[in-house]
Amino acid sequence: MTVDRVAPHVLAVALRRGHHFSKTPALSIRLLAGLGVEGDGHSGATVQHRYDRRRDPTKPNLRQVHLIPSELLEELRNKGFAVAPGDLGENITTAHIELAALPTGTRLYLGPRAVIELTGLREPCVLMDKFRRGLKAATLDRDVGGSRVYKAGVMAVVLADGEVAPGDAIRVALPSGQPMPLRPV
């Protein structure tokens, strides 16, 4: 498949069994509707994040898939952080798409069949500083009004099964109605 390199596309994919901060790059991942990434430690219908699971293990898993734009990785490298796809725990590293600017409920069509729906922003946590000192602060910012800006990626749920691989095109479908900005989940 030939993809226009300026159009939104998948740059890298990663997964890892168990609960670890970083994920291992892969040739492809399989998304499973209602669950997440097959074989990944955060896959499941109910919350898998360790902190949230302790509070209420019956809540739905709104963090089935974690996406980070490659442009953030480049920004962090320019600030002196050694980071590569999968290092920050993302399953999908994207290119040429401003993920955090998309509204809640946006659907992303990945490759030939997979469909995910954005649920919220990833809130930077203390584990980021354990991975690279100062990384948490580097993924937080303030907008002109002084509100906090989260730059650690976005979270999604899987609506339709499918294989996702580097080079796959990403098609964006905005939700109907009044757009609601992404909030931390």
Domains recognised in the chain with CATH numbers: 9-173 (2.40.33.20)
Nearest CA among 39, 44, 33 for reference residue 18: 39
Please report the pLDDT score of residue 144 as a whole number.
Answer: 94
Give the pLDDT confidence of 46-61 residue by residue, as tens digits.
998 877 778 888 999 9
Q: Based on DSSP, count helices (H) and strands (E) in the chain, helices before strands.
A: 4, 13
**pLDDT tens-digit series, residues 114-163:** 999 999 999 998 999 999 999 999 999 999 999 999 999 999 999 999 99
Under a CB-based contact definition with an 8 Å cutoff, are residues 116 and 92 in contact? no
What is the end-to-end Cα distance of the chain in Å, rounded? 34
Closest CA to 112 of 43, 165, 38: 165
| pTM > 0.75 | yes
